[in-house]
Structure 1
Amino acid sequence: MTERYLTITLQPDWQSGLRTAAKLAKANTYQGEVLNFESPAHFFGQLSEKRWEIVRAAQGKGELSVRELARSVGRDVKRVHEDVVILADLGLLERTESGGVLCPYSSMHIDMYLKAA
């Protein structure tokens, strides 16, 4: 199986991002996956420090239960579960058939360019 990797981008022009993703999908080889946010506010609103901690704790560990994940980050199971739901909706974590959680990406790159208005 190919190692999966993710590029996180900030592009207000979501249509351009869709066109780029369509071109990548037509390639013969795996080109990685892209998660785009329309603004820095949306990015930082969805990916807080505690959620990043969860992603980092799950990355490369294979399937973990939410309880194991909560233990590894030193947080309450209920709060970690709430964050896992959001991270799974974003595609940074995946739920397994047995109810566990895993981070499918061996690497992630954040492509962010901020410019004065």
Structure 2
Amino acid sequence: MKSGRTIEIEVGRDLRAVAAEVAEAWKAAGEGGAVAGDDRIVFRDWAALHAVMTPKRYELLRHLRRTPESGIRALARALNRDVRRVHEDVTALAEFGLVLRGEDGRLSSEIDAITSTIRIAA
């Protein structure tokens, strides 16, 4: 299996600071400067993270990393889950770039690891 990506999740980071970083990168790119890619997802709090990264979605990500599937129905069968719920989970995870959809509908994930920083005092 090919080597994949590592995603960093930050919880409790000041969203204004994140927005300032994005604006700075946008400005640098507009001026022709180099901008490094960033595999980071920021959540305002634990509840927001928990709403996205559920145990079922974690199981789905692990499955797709090991065994890409031909589509939602095949994935639902493999996980022994309801097609509608699997579709909702794939849609949510794809929005964050954690699940990839090929033009042919094939589903996969390149994520090898998710690291996290959880700020308690934020």
What TM-score do you get using the length of structure 1 for normalisation? 0.75
Unaligned stretches of 5+ residues in structure 2:
29-33
After TM superposition, the runs of 4+ consecutive aligned structure 1 residues lying more than 2 A away are 1-5, 14-18, 20-23, 60-64, 112-117
- Whole-Å Cα distance in 1 between the matches of residues 118 and 40 of structure 2? 16
Identity of aligned residues (%): 31
- Whole-Å Cα distance in 2 between the matches of residues 45 and 34 of structure 1? 17
Cα distance change of structure 1 residues 116 and 2 upon mapping to structure 2, 3 Å threshold: closer
- Whole-Å Cα distance in 2 between the matches of residues 16 and 60 of structure 1? 36
Unaligned stretches of 5+ residues in structure 1:
none
What TM-score do you get using the length of structure 2 for normalisation? 0.72
What RMSD, in angstroms, separates the aligned Cα atoms of the two structures? 2.9
2:110 matched to which residue of 1? 104
Q: Which one has a bigger Cα radius of gyration?
A: 2
The size of the alignment, in residue pairs, is 112
Higher relative contact order (CA closer than 8 Å, sequence separation 6+): 2
- Whole-Å Cα distance in 1 between the matches of residues 3 and 79 of structure 2? 28
Task: Report 1:75-114 matches (<5 A).
Answer: 75-105=81-111, 107-114=112-119
1:7–1:34 contact (8 Å) kept in structure 2: yes
